[in-house]
Structure 1
Amino acid sequence: MTTTALVAPTVTDYTTSADLATLVVRTTRDGEVMLAAEQLRLSCKCAHCTRARFDGRFPQGFPGIAITEIGDLGYGLNISFSDGHNRGIYPKPYLLSLAGR
């Protein structure tokens, strides 16, 4: 009897697009997935952004936002943005869920 295990895709590498408007994530299964900087900024779950949502102060969009820095924490990425926000940690499975994977 053969058993087949379902293995979720794993992030293997990442980079930004030349214009810094997109995070390009490479995975073990899907090749590359693209996540817009604005989508990432809107999806931040840090305490500051969570509180701003709760208080009704979170913006509806971040037009023209860019990714300025990425720190790899092993389990996730700490992404900094051109609006100065640098508190968001995006676990790698969360990034893939944002990409619909």
Structure 2
Amino acid sequence: MTPLVAPIVSDYETSSDLASLLVRTTQDDALSVPAETLRLSCKCAHCTRARFDGRFPETFPGIAITEIGDLGYGLNISFSDGHNRGIYPKTYLLSLAGR
């Protein structure tokens, strides 16, 4: 019996319009996560506190990805609203992409 192997992020880039993160896995899956989904899913301390205090926005219309830093285990993604504190573990990115 062949063991099931979970997909692993092998590569990533932004879409040409900066509105999505395109993720490729070791299983040759090509996945897309909208920038707004990423921004809404940020788990940094600042965003977590804003949610707790009821100050976190419900939407981020027109948000774009401006920079990506690869930390090995995850990506530090910066957005057009100036937010750059979020670190997205690669397994978390796959879950946001529905994998």
* 3-state DSSP of counterpart to 2:72: coil
Count of matched residue pairs: 99
Structure-2-length-normalised TM-score: 0.97
Q: What is the CA–CA distance in structure 1 between the aligned matches of 2:52 and 2:28, rounded to whole Å?
A: 35
Match of 1:54 in 2: 52
Match of 2:91 in 1: 93
Alignment of 1:14-33 (within 5 A): 14-33=12-31
Match of 2:2 in 1: 4
* 3-state DSSP of counterpart to 1:80: strand
C-alpha RMSD of matched pairs (Å): 0.8
Is the radius of gyration larger for structure 1 or structure 2?
Answer: 1
1:54 shift after superposition: 0.4
Task: Give the partner amino acid of 1:53.
Answer: R
1:30 shift after superposition: 4.8
1:94 shift after superposition: 0.2
* Runs of 4+ more than 4 Å apart: none
5+ unaligned residues in a row in structure 2: which ranges? none
Structure-1-length-normalised TM-score: 0.95
Percent identity reads 81
Alignment of 1:65-84 (within 5 A): 65-84=63-82
1:5 shift after superposition: 1.3
